Amino acid sequence: MGRIVVSEFVTLDGVVEDPGGAEGSPSGGWAFKFDRGDEGDRFKTEELMNTDALLLGRRTYEGFAVAWPNMNEDPFGQKMNSMPKYVVSSTLTKADWTNSTILPGDLAEEATRLRDEVGEILVAGSRQLVNGLHAHGLIDEYRLMVYPIVLGAGARLFDDSAAQATLRLVEAKPAGDILLLTYHRA
């Protein structure tokens, strides 16, 4: 049996919206104001290299599908482009990025099937998808890169309807200006 791992860039006040600035939100690009150091880069590289597939929401998929095919010169980009990608969407009709499959069915059924068949599945960004997976108790691990900034506004990782959940801290370490936190379900 595999695992579903959520990996998020998050501000101190819980905002995950537009860390890279590509979404054009008023506070977008906040992650680039900080240095995550060699440790943060190593964390992201190891995370991806140990992943069997990506599970993404439509909006994150569309952003990644524009950017990543043009970044194929290093092992990180090559892995992003070659690995299986599953996009959860009821509206997307075409997924042209290499090795992409649309999952239009029931989220809980599709995610459970993938976890059983694929192995380690990484969910990056995809806030709405994360909330859906959380609601069904399907997230095995949360990896948060916490940035030392308070935005005061913006979409937060969990919306107000999120079910209460108790997590267990399994690792906390600094990486440059940020903090890497890893939690498992308790």
What value does the CA radius of gyration of the chain take, rounded to a whole number of Å? 16
**Mean of the pLDDT values across residues 11-20?**
94
- Write the pLDDT tens digit of every residue in 97-125: 999 999 988 999 999 999 999 999 999 99
**DSSP per residue, 112-125:** HHHHHHH-EEEEES
- pLDDT given at position 146: 98
- pLDDT given at position 154: 93
Confidence bin at 22 (pLDDT 50/70/90): confident
Contact present, 47 and 54 (Cβ < 8 Å): no
Strand ranges for 77-162 from DSSP E: 85-88, 100-103, 120-124, 141-147
Structure tokens, 90:
């009821």
Nearest to 180 by CA among 29, 19, 47: 47
Strands 167-175 and 100-103 turn out to be: unpaired
Alpha carbon distance 40, 135 (integer Å):
29
- Set out the domains of the chain in order of their start, with CATH numbers: 3-54+102-185 (3.40.430.10)
- Write the pLDDT tens digit of every residue in 132-183: 999 999 999 999 999 999 999 999 999 888 889 999 999 999 999 999 999 9
**Mean of the pLDDT values across residues 76-102?**
94
- 120 strand-pairing partners: 3
